[in-house]
Structure 1
Protein backbone atom coordinates (compact mmCIF):
# COMPACT_ATOMS: atom_id res chain seq x y z
CA UNK A 1 0.00 0.00 0.00
CA UNK A 2 1.06 3.54 -0.71
CA UNK A 3 2.25 5.93 1.86
CA UNK A 4 -0.29 8.46 3.20
CA UNK A 5 0.63 11.88 1.92
CA UNK A 6 -0.51 14.61 4.27
CA UNK A 7 1.14 17.16 2.00
CA UNK A 8 -1.69 16.82 -0.51
CA UNK A 9 -4.15 18.32 1.96
CA UNK A 10 -1.77 21.08 2.92
CA UNK A 11 -1.03 21.82 -0.72
CA UNK A 12 -4.74 22.07 -1.53
CA UNK A 13 -5.36 24.36 1.44
CA UNK A 14 -2.47 26.60 0.42
CA UNK A 15 -3.69 26.73 -3.18
CA UNK A 16 -7.19 27.66 -2.03
CA UNK A 17 -5.81 30.37 0.26
CA UNK A 18 -3.72 31.80 -2.58
CA UNK A 19 -6.77 31.81 -4.87
CA UNK A 20 -8.79 33.69 -2.22
CA UNK A 21 -5.97 36.20 -1.81
CA UNK A 22 -5.77 36.69 -5.59
CA UNK A 23 -9.53 37.23 -5.84
CA UNK A 24 -9.37 39.72 -2.96
CA UNK A 25 -6.49 41.55 -4.65
CA UNK A 26 -8.44 41.76 -7.91
CA UNK A 27 -11.43 43.11 -6.01
CA UNK A 28 -9.28 45.75 -4.27
CA UNK A 29 -7.56 46.75 -7.52
CA UNK A 30 -10.89 47.33 -9.23
CA UNK A 31 -11.46 51.01 -10.12
CA UNK A 32 -13.98 53.01 -8.09
CA UNK A 33 -17.49 53.72 -9.37
CA UNK A 34 -16.63 57.39 -9.96
CA UNK A 35 -13.51 56.60 -11.98
CA UNK A 36 -13.59 58.30 -15.42
CA UNK A 37 -12.91 55.03 -17.24
CA UNK A 38 -15.81 53.32 -15.44
CA UNK A 39 -18.11 56.24 -16.16
CA UNK A 40 -17.07 56.20 -19.82
CA UNK A 41 -17.81 52.47 -20.10
CA UNK A 42 -21.18 52.94 -18.42
CA UNK A 43 -22.14 55.79 -20.74
CA UNK A 44 -21.04 53.72 -23.75
CA UNK A 45 -23.18 50.81 -22.55
CA UNK A 46 -26.14 53.16 -22.03
CA UNK A 47 -25.68 54.53 -25.55
CA UNK A 48 -25.60 51.00 -26.98
CA UNK A 49 -28.74 50.03 -25.06
CA UNK A 50 -30.52 53.22 -26.17
CA UNK A 51 -29.55 52.63 -29.80
CA UNK A 52 -30.80 49.04 -29.56
CA UNK A 53 -34.12 50.22 -28.10
CA UNK A 54 -34.43 52.89 -30.81
CA UNK A 55 -33.85 50.28 -33.53
CA UNK A 56 -36.43 47.98 -31.92
CA UNK A 57 -38.98 50.81 -31.81
CA UNK A 58 -38.25 51.69 -35.44
CA UNK A 59 -38.73 48.05 -36.46
CA UNK A 60 -42.00 47.92 -34.52
CA UNK A 61 -43.24 51.13 -36.18
CA UNK A 62 -42.27 49.77 -39.60
CA UNK A 63 -44.01 46.48 -38.84
CA UNK A 64 -47.19 48.29 -37.77
CA UNK A 65 -47.08 50.53 -40.86
CA UNK A 66 -46.64 47.50 -43.14
CA UNK A 67 -49.49 45.73 -41.38
CA UNK A 68 -51.74 48.77 -41.78
CA UNK A 69 -50.77 48.97 -45.45
CA UNK A 70 -51.62 45.29 -45.95
CA UNK A 71 -54.96 45.76 -44.21
CA UNK A 72 -55.73 48.81 -46.37
CA UNK A 73 -54.82 46.88 -49.53
CA UNK A 74 -56.97 43.93 -48.43
CA UNK A 75 -59.88 46.27 -47.72
CA UNK A 76 -59.46 47.97 -51.10
CA UNK A 77 -59.35 44.57 -52.83
CA UNK A 78 -62.46 43.49 -50.96
CA UNK A 79 -64.26 46.70 -51.96
CA UNK A 80 -63.14 46.20 -55.57
CA UNK A 81 -64.52 42.65 -55.52
CA UNK A 82 -67.81 43.86 -54.05
CA UNK A 83 -68.05 46.56 -56.73
CA UNK A 84 -67.29 43.97 -59.43
CA UNK A 85 -70.00 41.66 -58.08
CA UNK A 86 -72.46 44.56 -57.99
CA UNK A 87 -71.55 45.47 -61.60
CA UNK A 88 -72.01 41.86 -62.70
CA UNK A 89 -75.36 41.68 -60.90
CA UNK A 90 -76.48 44.92 -62.61
CA UNK A 91 -75.40 43.60 -66.03
CA UNK A 92 -77.25 40.35 -65.40
CA UNK A 93 -80.38 42.28 -64.38
CA UNK A 94 -80.11 44.37 -67.57
CA UNK A 95 -79.69 41.23 -69.72
CA UNK A 96 -82.69 39.61 -68.05
CA UNK A 97 -84.77 42.76 -68.56
CA UNK A 98 -83.72 42.91 -72.23
CA UNK A 99 -84.52 39.20 -72.67
CA UNK A 100 -87.90 39.68 -71.02
CA UNK A 101 -88.61 42.62 -73.33
CA UNK A 102 -87.59 40.56 -76.40
CA UNK A 103 -89.75 37.66 -75.27
CA UNK A 104 -92.71 40.01 -74.68
CA UNK A 105 -92.22 41.61 -78.09
CA UNK A 106 -92.08 38.16 -79.73
CA UNK A 107 -95.19 37.07 -77.83
CA UNK A 108 -97.02 40.28 -78.78
CA UNK A 109 -96.00 39.79 -82.43
CA UNK A 110 -97.34 36.22 -82.39
CA UNK A 111 -100.54 37.41 -80.77
CA UNK A 112 -100.95 40.21 -83.34
CA UNK A 113 -100.27 37.77 -86.20
CA UNK A 114 -102.85 35.36 -84.83
CA UNK A 115 -105.42 38.16 -84.52
CA UNK A 116 -104.63 39.34 -88.05
CA UNK A 117 -105.19 35.81 -89.40
CA UNK A 118 -108.44 35.54 -87.50
CA UNK A 119 -109.77 38.82 -89.01
CA UNK A 120 -109.25 37.81 -92.62
Structure 2
Protein backbone atom coordinates (compact mmCIF):
# COMPACT_ATOMS: atom_id res chain seq x y z
CA UNK A 1 0.00 0.00 0.00
CA UNK A 2 1.17 3.45 -0.73
CA UNK A 3 1.45 5.84 2.12
CA UNK A 4 -0.44 9.05 2.64
CA UNK A 5 0.63 11.65 0.13
CA UNK A 6 0.74 15.08 1.69
CA UNK A 7 -0.22 17.62 -0.92
CA UNK A 8 1.09 21.12 -0.66
CA UNK A 9 -1.03 24.23 -0.60
CA UNK A 10 -0.38 25.08 -4.27
CA UNK A 11 -1.31 21.56 -5.37
CA UNK A 12 -4.58 21.71 -3.43
CA UNK A 13 -5.32 25.14 -4.86
CA UNK A 14 -4.71 24.00 -8.43
CA UNK A 15 -6.83 20.83 -7.99
CA UNK A 16 -9.72 22.94 -6.61
CA UNK A 17 -9.41 25.31 -9.57
CA UNK A 18 -9.39 22.41 -12.04
CA UNK A 19 -12.49 20.95 -10.35
CA UNK A 20 -14.24 24.31 -10.71
CA UNK A 21 -13.25 24.47 -14.38
CA UNK A 22 -14.58 20.95 -14.94
CA UNK A 23 -17.93 21.90 -13.35
CA UNK A 24 -18.10 25.05 -15.48
CA UNK A 25 -17.36 23.08 -18.66
CA UNK A 26 -19.97 20.53 -17.72
CA UNK A 27 -22.52 23.29 -17.18
CA UNK A 28 -21.62 24.96 -20.49
CA UNK A 29 -21.97 21.65 -22.31
CA UNK A 30 -25.65 21.37 -21.34
CA UNK A 31 -28.09 22.40 -24.09
CA UNK A 32 -29.72 25.83 -23.96
CA UNK A 33 -33.49 26.20 -23.42
CA UNK A 34 -33.96 27.20 -27.08
CA UNK A 35 -32.01 24.19 -28.39
CA UNK A 36 -34.13 22.09 -30.79
CA UNK A 37 -33.63 18.89 -28.78
CA UNK A 38 -34.76 20.60 -25.59
CA UNK A 39 -37.80 22.08 -27.36
CA UNK A 40 -38.61 18.62 -28.75
CA UNK A 41 -38.33 17.01 -25.31
CA UNK A 42 -40.54 19.71 -23.79
CA UNK A 43 -43.15 19.17 -26.51
CA UNK A 44 -43.05 15.40 -25.91
CA UNK A 45 -43.56 15.93 -22.17
CA UNK A 46 -46.48 18.27 -22.86
CA UNK A 47 -48.02 15.69 -25.19
CA UNK A 48 -47.70 13.05 -22.47
CA UNK A 49 -49.33 15.36 -19.94
CA UNK A 50 -52.18 16.12 -22.34
CA UNK A 51 -52.69 12.40 -23.02
CA UNK A 52 -52.68 11.64 -19.28
CA UNK A 53 -55.24 14.39 -18.64
CA UNK A 54 -57.44 13.04 -21.45
CA UNK A 55 -57.28 9.52 -19.98
CA UNK A 56 -58.10 10.87 -16.53
CA UNK A 57 -61.06 12.84 -17.90
CA UNK A 58 -62.28 9.74 -19.75
CA UNK A 59 -61.98 7.64 -16.58
CA UNK A 60 -63.83 10.28 -14.58
CA UNK A 61 -66.64 10.41 -17.15
CA UNK A 62 -66.90 6.61 -17.13
CA UNK A 63 -67.07 6.60 -13.32
CA UNK A 64 -69.81 9.24 -13.37
CA UNK A 65 -71.81 7.26 -15.92
CA UNK A 66 -71.42 4.09 -13.85
CA UNK A 67 -72.43 5.92 -10.66
CA UNK A 68 -75.50 7.32 -12.41
CA UNK A 69 -76.43 3.85 -13.72
CA UNK A 70 -76.04 2.35 -10.25
CA UNK A 71 -78.17 5.11 -8.73
CA UNK A 72 -80.90 4.49 -11.31
CA UNK A 73 -80.79 0.75 -10.65
CA UNK A 74 -81.01 1.37 -6.91
CA UNK A 75 -83.97 3.74 -7.34
CA UNK A 76 -85.73 1.20 -9.58
CA UNK A 77 -85.06 -1.61 -7.09
CA UNK A 78 -86.36 0.52 -4.20
CA UNK A 79 -89.49 1.44 -6.17
CA UNK A 80 -90.11 -2.21 -6.99
CA UNK A 81 -89.62 -3.19 -3.36
CA UNK A 82 -92.05 -0.46 -2.21
CA UNK A 83 -94.62 -1.62 -4.76
CA UNK A 84 -94.27 -5.25 -3.67
CA UNK A 85 -94.49 -4.23 -0.01
CA UNK A 86 -97.66 -2.21 -0.69
CA UNK A 87 -99.18 -5.14 -2.59
CA UNK A 88 -98.32 -7.48 0.31
CA UNK A 89 -99.88 -5.06 2.79
CA UNK A 90 -103.06 -4.89 0.67
CA UNK A 91 -103.19 -8.69 0.37
CA UNK A 92 -102.63 -9.09 4.13
CA UNK A 93 -105.38 -6.57 4.86
CA UNK A 94 -107.75 -8.34 2.48
CA UNK A 95 -106.94 -11.68 4.14
CA UNK A 96 -107.54 -10.14 7.59
CA UNK A 97 -110.87 -8.67 6.50
CA UNK A 98 -111.88 -12.04 4.98
CA UNK A 99 -110.92 -13.84 8.21
CA UNK A 100 -112.93 -11.38 10.29
CA UNK A 101 -115.92 -11.85 7.98
CA UNK A 102 -115.64 -15.63 8.30
CA UNK A 103 -115.36 -15.36 12.07
CA UNK A 104 -118.46 -13.11 12.16
CA UNK A 105 -120.42 -15.56 10.01
CA UNK A 106 -119.39 -18.45 12.30
CA UNK A 107 -120.30 -16.40 15.40
CA UNK A 108 -123.68 -15.44 13.93
CA UNK A 109 -124.34 -19.08 13.05
CA UNK A 110 -123.54 -20.16 16.62
CA UNK A 111 -125.77 -17.42 17.99
CA UNK A 112 -128.62 -18.43 15.66
CA UNK A 113 -128.19 -22.09 16.65
CA UNK A 114 -128.29 -21.18 20.34
CA UNK A 115 -131.44 -19.14 19.83
CA UNK A 116 -133.02 -21.99 17.86
CA UNK A 117 -132.27 -24.45 20.68
CA UNK A 118 -133.78 -22.13 23.26
CA UNK A 119 -137.11 -21.84 21.46
**What SS does the corresponding residue of 1:34 show, helix, strand or coil?**
coil
Structure 1 position 13, deviation (Å): 4.1
Distance 1:99 1:3, change over 3 A: closer
Distance 1:50 1:86, change over 3 A: same
**Cα RMSD for the two superposed structures:** 2.6
Q: TM-score, normalised by structure 2?
A: 0.77
Structure 2 gaps, min length 5: none
Distance 1:22 1:4, change over 3 A: closer
Distance 1:114 1:9, change over 3 A: farther
Structure 1 gaps, min length 5: none
- Give aligned pairs, total: 117
Which residue does the alignment assign to 2:31?
31
Structure 1 position 80, deviation (Å): 2.4
Distance 1:85 1:8, change over 3 A: farther
Distance 1:104 1:43, change over 3 A: same
